[in-house]
Amino acid sequence: MDERVSALLTAVLERNRFVADDLISVWFTATPDLHSDFPAAAARGLGIVDVPLICAQELDITGAMPRVVRVLAHVETSLSKAEISHVHLGATGALRKDIAQ
């Protein structure tokens, strides 16, 4: 969990040229099959320590992709919505082919 969530957060920050000070809050969700750790612990491990973080569980929908962590970051930025890079790593690109990069 830590390695994958760290990679996801790092990609979100790097692709959008964000730094930790740009973060207002971060919301993590995980599918019900992931229960080894809190995704927010990975953020703390990256040094994101003064930002509110929350974890929640995704709905348990039959046929949904397993082993998925999602991140919703509230940021202070001058980028427009069109300029924001939405990050999908691994197989999760199939979830949103319209915005996966």
CATH number at residue 90: 3.30.1330.40
The per-residue pLDDT for 71 is 97
The answer as to whether 33 is a domain residue is yes
Under the banding of pLDDT at 50, 70 and 90, the label for residue 96 is: low
64: phi then psi, degrees, rounded to nearest 5: -70, 155
The answer as to whether 101 is a domain residue is no
Under the banding of pLDDT at 50, 70 and 90, the label for residue 97 is: low
Average pLDDT, rounded, for the chain: 92
pTM attached to this predicted model: 0.88
The answer as to whether 39 is a domain residue is yes
26: phi then psi, degrees, rounded to nearest 5: -140, 135
The answer as to whether 72 is a domain residue is yes
**Are the C-beta atoms of 39 and 79 separated by less than 8 Å?**
no
Q: How far apart are CA 49 and CA 60, in angstroms?
A: 30
Q: What is the number of structural domains in the chain?
A: 1
* Residue found by looking up tokens 């949103």 in the block: 96
Give the CA radius of gyration of the chain.
13
Domain span at residue 45 reads 2-96
The answer as to whether 11 is a domain residue is yes
